[in-house]
Amino acid sequence: MTSTKLIVGLGNPGLPYAGTRHNVGFEVVEHLALHEGLLFFPSDRLDGYGGPNNFLFARSHVPDVLFVQPLTWMNKSGEAVAPLVEWTGGDISNLFVVYDDLDLEPGKLRIRARGGHGGQNGMRSIINHLSSDCFSRLRVGIGRPETDAARHVLSPFEGAERTAIDNAVAKASEAVLHWLGTGDIDSTMSRFHSRWNLNV
């Protein structure tokens, strides 16, 4: 199963968090599953998987891809992701994580082949559990708060920001599909970054 790709969108589970800034990773994998005509199932429905029952997945077989939403809280995302990586053969080059970023304007996208967590607790957990940061990731900007960051990430998008995020979710989905089709993170970066944003 080493060829299985993992597309993981980060967020918090439950209806109270739907549509909030911290859940934009969930929105991207939901958009991808809808595009591919796939449904999400609980992890105990994943054939052959015996790890923790703490995520939802939608599966495409051509190519073999799992679109994943961890059901842990954001700051424990690694508890869901690390066993899945091990189950697929332990090759973290097959992992692509989508998550929110406070330091980017709402709707802006950044793609990198590796790097630190940048203060994002879900990424911090994944990196800690994998003992590596050598996996691809896509950040979706949610904007810097004027006051409390914790309250900001759990607030919904409104007005023009919601429109920007909807567009970003669609563009992020295109980027993931390009990566899945090519396996080339560099060309994905080149295609989905503006030239003046390459080094951000």
- Token representation of residue 122: 């879900």
Q: What is the pLDDT of residues 17-30, one digit of tens each?
A: 999 888 999 999 99
Q: What is the pLDDT of residues 177-196, one digit of tens each?
A: 999 999 999 999 988 875 44
Distance, in Å, from the CA atom of 96 to the CA atom of 10, rounded to the nearest integer, reads 11
Q: What is the pTM of this model?
A: 0.92
Pairing of strands 41-42, 55-61: antiparallel
Q: What is the pLDDT of residues 110-160, one digit of tens each?
A: 999 999 998 899 999 999 999 999 999 999 998 877 777 777 877 888 888
Provide the sign of the torsion angle of the four alpha carbons 31, 156, 159, 143, taken in this order.
negative
Q: How many CA atoms lie within 13 A of 130 on its CB side?
A: 29
CA distances in angstroms from 72 to 2, 16, 39, 151, listed in the order given = 25, 15, 20, 19
Q: What is the pLDDT of residues 74-109, one digit of tens each?
A: 999 999 999 999 999 999 999 999 999 988 999 999
The tokens 């409390």 sit on which residue?
Answer: 148
**How much is the pLDDT for 57?**
98
- Which entry of 22, 31, 61, 178 is annotated as an active-site residue? 22
**How much is the pLDDT for 179?**
96
When pLDDT is averaged across residues 40-52 and rounded to a whole number, the result is 95
Pairing of strands 64-70, 109-112: unpaired
Q: Please confirm, yes or no, whether 22 is among the known catalytic residues.
A: yes
The tokens 């091990």 sit on which residue?
Answer: 86
Task: For the chain, list the domains and their CATH numbers.
Answer: 5-197 (3.40.50.1470)
**How much is the pLDDT for 181?**
93
Peptide bond into 106 cis (omega under 30): no
**How much is the pLDDT for 118?**
87
Q: What is the pLDDT of residues 53-69, one digit of tens each?
A: 999 999 998 889 999 99
- Token representation of residue 43: 């992890």
